[in-house]
Amino acid sequence: MTCCEGCTSCNGFSLLVLLLSGAVLNAIPLIVNRVEEGKFFRNPISCFEWWYPGIIGAGLMAIPATTMSLASRKRACCNNRGGMFLSSFFNIITIIGAVYCMLVSLNALTEGPLICNSPSNNTCKFSFDNLRIDPQSFNLQWLSNGSCVASNSLNSPIKNDTMTSELHVSPKEKRHRTIFFSAFVGLLLVGFLELLFALSQIVIGFLGCLCGVSKRRSRIV
């Protein structure tokens, strides 16, 4: 096995772990919503998990490149010059999916969970115009505040006090904020790592296409 084949196999295994992690992280808010509310598309933790950044972006769109890369471990289609080229080509799809996953995750972290944004909203409206990142609005204020839900019991003179606000954080708000932050930070990391592995595989694939693969296996192919 040449260096290109070994690195391709390693990238394939890494992408497999990442795409499974992305699907699990994306599913966590959906499962929690189903368990708590008993219905789909009603009072989700946020609207952005329904964009399926981990299931579609970091998951399905990474399957072709992952399959082609893992095939380099065996006497399969990737273990030749054409297969190495295809492994590079399919990673372009992986890059698109990873960028999509990162964009959705960044927008989700900017907006915050639905309980902090508009808890009375029962439906989600989907538009690609929403996937816009404003660096000035990325401050995670919903996470830094003691409570992001306005309490009617708080008087205006002490409403902004952090210690007082923390006393009025409901268990549901704590749970939703924790799940939301963990899921979308995880998806952001998954998308970033997939992007790095995909870019490296494009370089490795082209090198394998130019330099060739191991002679023993190329005869069998």
**72 with 9: CB under 8 angstroms?**
yes
End-to-end CA distance of the chain: 14
CA atoms within 13 A on the CB side of 217: 18
* pLDDT at 138 (0 to 100): 60
Q: 175-206 burial, b for 16+ CB within 10 Å, e for fewer?
A: ebbebbbebbebbbbbbbbbbebbebbbebbe
* pLDDT at 4 (0 to 100): 67
Number of domains in the chain: 1
Cα separation, 191 vs 180, whole angstroms: 16
Cα separation, 71 vs 73, whole angstroms: 5
**Local structure of residue 78 (DSSP, 8 states):** T
What is the residue range of 159's domain?
Answer: 3-220
Cα separation, 123 vs 46, whole angstroms: 10
Mean pLDDT by 10 residues, the chain (221 residues): 70 94 93 72 76 95 91 62 80 96 91 72 59 62 69 45 53 86 96 96 82 52 38
pTM of the model: 0.80
Choose among 62, 68, 72, 58: nearest CA to 7. Answer: 72
* pLDDT at 148 (0 to 100): 72
* pLDDT at 92 (0 to 100): 95
203 phi/psi in degrees, rounded to 5: -65, -45
Q: Please give the structure tokens belonging to residue 84.
A: 């190495």
